[in-house]
Amino acid sequence: MPPPSPAELQWVRTPQQARSQDTLARLLDAAEAMLEESPWDQCTVAALVARGKSSIGAFYARFPDKDSLLQHLHQRRSAEGIHTADAALERERWQGVQLAPLIRAVVGFVAQDYVDHAGLHREIVRRNSTDARFRERSAHVAGHVVRLIALLLEERKSEIVVDDTLRAADMVHRILFSVLDQSVQFVDRPPGPVALTQPQLVEAIVRAMLGYLGHAGATARSNA
């Protein structure tokens, strides 16, 4: 993993002993766990350190303030997102694979990640509308992923009806992430009258993406 840019290194004081590496990890885990239940500003520092089997002082030895922990979480996640995308959308990996199975695999993978980190994703969505630094990081990751998608589309232009692959990749990316963002905001109920299982949601998103691209297979079959 390449080092993040200097400007992004400010959220956490990197610990020097192994012991406090543990403490830091426990704090980060506790934070993610608490985000499953409440939004960040309803999580108190006291509850956080209790959950992380740490103490208030230990917290402030690592982070200049409460907000920095969340910033750090998002920064780490953004970096992971970029590296995961690099690996998952690598050109060679999908050599000779057609668009539909490719997209289906990717959407399934991303959807599963949303389930596994629902709390963090909810908070990121909330923050994006509030905090320019979150927007910056989120848009940076999106930009990176969109460019990777565009490369894959470029090689499969014969399967689709699209001129500008970058713009097509952008929209396809928007559909995927905005629908998942919305689903994850509605914790215990669907956002509308139709309840979809995870695979059904994935299939619906795939169909929307292929449909947007003008992929022939999209219209050949009714919605399952």
DSSP 8-class letter at 164 = -
Q: CA dihedral defined by 42, 47, 53, 54, rounded to 10 degrees?
A: 90
Binding partner of 43, given a copy of itself, DNA, none, CB within 5-8 angstroms per partner class: DNA
Among 4, 39, 64, 199, which residue interacts with a copy of itself (rule: CB under 8 A)? 39
Q: Is 80 in the site for DNA (CB under 7 A)?
A: no
| Amino acid letter for position 160 | I
Q: Which is nearer to DNA, 68 or 84 (by Cβ)?
A: 68
CA distance 211 to 148: 20
Q: Which amino acid is at 104?
A: R
Give yes or no for residue 38 binding DNA (CB under 7 A): no
State which of positions 69-128 bind a copy of itself (CB under 8 A).
Answer: 122, 125-126, 128
| Cα 107 to Cα 209: distance, rounded to the nearest angstrom | 10
What ranges make up the beta strands (E) of 99-147? none
SS3 content of the chain, % helix, strand, coil (to 5): 70, 0, 30
Q: Is 189 in the site for a copy of itself (CB under 8 A)?
A: yes
CA distance 184 to 177: 10
Cβ proximity of 165 and 157 under 8 Å: yes
Name the one range near DNA by CB under 7 A: 62-70, 100-108, 127-135, 156-164.
Answer: 62-70
Name the binder of 70 from a copy of itself, DNA, none, CB < 5-8 A by kind.
Answer: none
Site membership for DNA, residue 171 (CB under 7 A): no
- x/- letters, 141..180, toward a copy of itself (CB under 8 A): -xx--xx-------------xxxx-xxx-xx-xxx-xxx-
Q: How far is the CB of 143 from a copy of itself (least distance, A)?
A: 4
Please choose, from the candidates 25, 105, 115, the residue with its C-alpha nearest in 3D space to the C-alpha of residue 73.
25
Supply the angle between the helices 132-154 and 165-185 in degrees, to the nearest 10: 130
Binding residues vs DNA (CB under 7 A): 15-20, 22-23, 41-46, 54-58, 60-62, 65-67
Task: Note the residues at the interface with a copy of itself (CB under 8 A).
Answer: 39, 41, 122, 125-126, 128-130, 132, 135, 138-139, 142-143, 146-147, 161-164, 166-168, 170-171, 173-175, 177-179, 181-182, 184-194, 204, 207-208, 210-216, 218-223
